[in-house]
Amino acid sequence: MNEGSRLVAGEATLTEVLTVAHGQEEMIEVLVRQNARLVYRIAYAVLRSHHDAEDATQETFVRVLRYGKKLAGVDDPKTWLARIAWRVAIDRRKHQTRRREVALDDRENPVEEAVSSETPADETLRRNEVSTALESLIAALPRKLREPLVLSTLEEMSPREIAVTLGIGEAAVRSRVFRARQILRGKLMGLTAQSKSNGR
Amino acid sequence: MADYERWQQGAEHRSDALDCELDTALAKYATVEPRTGLEERVLANLHAEHEQLAQRSWWGWIVVGTLAVGIIIVAAMLSWKPANNGGKHHPPIEAPRAAGTQIARNGETNGTGPRTRMPGKRSSVHLRRTEKAAEPKLDVFPSPLPLSEQEKMLASYVAEYPKEAALIAQLRTEALQREFEEEMRAEETNSVR
């Protein structure tokens, strides 16, 4: 290989590298625009804090930037991203020192339950109590049941995607979610009966 | 029986209602929206991070390039020294042998083989001292050690194919850089998992 052809090869390689780099940036931007909301919701489902969820979202995409070369070979970017977001959120929760915010008390949450004029006030209050209780009940579930249940509440995640995110089988996801719901139903039934007896 | 059926129907109704309530509560548990402009904030942060990474990689390549140039210079210096010193060493080695051989032949004729080596040795020592006195003083510190066989082979290869040697040094440096990056990535992947 003479000097001239070596120079040409070198320039071609540099052009290819630059094209790949620009392509990666565009891919990451598309990934952000399409999946930032999902990543945020996954993080919030674990961390239960808007501030922490946004930090976790930022960290997730920073990791995607660092592993940008792997992105081209990923078949399912959404699930791949969900897995990273999940791991980031779990790691953050381990280091969390302050108490989790309760969703209803979070004033930053723009999505609040609209008070319907048709819904009786006591019914609204009861639903709020159930939601508040549910936070504690879900947190008290065993980890193996809690994690699939939490992800199953996200409408964007199918059982297959949950299975890939958690690294378990799809059948395991379904059975664990079913088991978790059974436990929650039982506890809610007990709470409902207790509140009725207290009300009487 | 009718009472039992009514009770059963009531229980099913309560169960359905409870399921509905649980579904509603779980949906509410997950219903959360980020603050407006999340994508823009993430992209701005990524842009800043990308610039930082690019700066770090530039510094890394400068260090790698400097090392590669250093390796090439050392290889070139190694190839230069044996070419200058090799010729000078040869005569002292050859001269005493020739003298020794001649004297040995004479000695064989006279029948005094072992004794003939001593005059050869003296002459070789005398020749070496003479050669050393004739050599200019080299401004090299520390004093060069004799090259090992591997170093001689490398030096001769670099002398004969300098461009290929430089290319090999560059490729080896790039391979080391790739290995380092892979190790970093592996560490990162382990932390993600």
Residues B120-147: tens digit of each pLDDT: 555 555 555 555 555 566 565 666 677 7
Are the beta carbons of B43 and A29 separated by less than 8 Å? Answer: yes
Most A-contacting residue of B18, B20, B28, B188 (CB-CB within 10 A), to test interface: B28
| In this structure, CATH architecture of domain A9-98 | Orthogonal Bundle (1.10)
At residue A105, the pLDDT reads: 44
Find chain A residues with C-beta within 8 A of B45's C-beta.
Answer: 58, 61-62
Q: Pick the residue with more confidence: A9 or A160?
A: A160
At residue A177, the pLDDT reads: 95
Indicate where chain A has its CATH 1.10.10.10 domain(s): 119-200
Percent of chain B surpassing pLDDT 70: 64
At residue A159, the pLDDT reads: 94
| In this structure, CATH architecture of domain A119-200 | Orthogonal Bundle (1.10)
Structure tokens at A197: 């007896």
pTM of the predicted protein model:
0.56
In whole angstroms, what is the distance from residue A30 CA to residue B189 CA?
23
Nearest C-alpha neighbor of A40 from the set B188, B36, B46, B48:
B36
Find chain A residues with C-beta within 8 A of B51's C-beta.
Answer: none
Q: pLDDT tens digit string along B149-190?
A: 878 888 888 888 888 888 888 888 888 888 888 888 887 777
Q: Is the per-residue pLDDT at B48 higher than 50?
A: yes
Three-state DSSP at A141 gives: coil
Q: pLDDT tens digit string along B99-127?
A: 445 544 554 445 444 444 555 555 555 55
Q: Which amino acid belongs to residue A124?
A: T
B57 touching chain A per CB within 8 A: no
- Who's near A109: CB < 8 A, 6+ residues apart? A50, A103, B32, B33
How many angstroms away from the CA of A120 is the closest CA of chain B? 16
How many angstroms away from the CA of A75 is the closest CA of chain B? 18
CB atoms within 10 A of CB A96: 13
Indicate where chain A has its CATH 1.10.1740.10 domain(s): 9-98
Find chain B residues with C-beta within 8 A of A130's C-beta.
Answer: 21, 25
**Does the interface ipTM go beyond 0.85?**
no
In whole angstroms, what is the distance from residue A48 CA to residue A108 CA?
12
Q: pLDDT tens digit string along A65-102?
A: 887 777 777 788 899 999 999 999 999 998 875 554 44
Are the beta carbons of B45 and A25 separated by less than 8 Å? Answer: no
Find chain A residues with C-beta within 8 A of B42's C-beta.
Answer: 32, 36, 57-58, 61
Of the listed ranges B10-24, B63-77, B93-107, the least confidently predicted one is B93-107
| Termini Cα distance of chain A | 94
B13 touching chain A per CB within 8 A: no
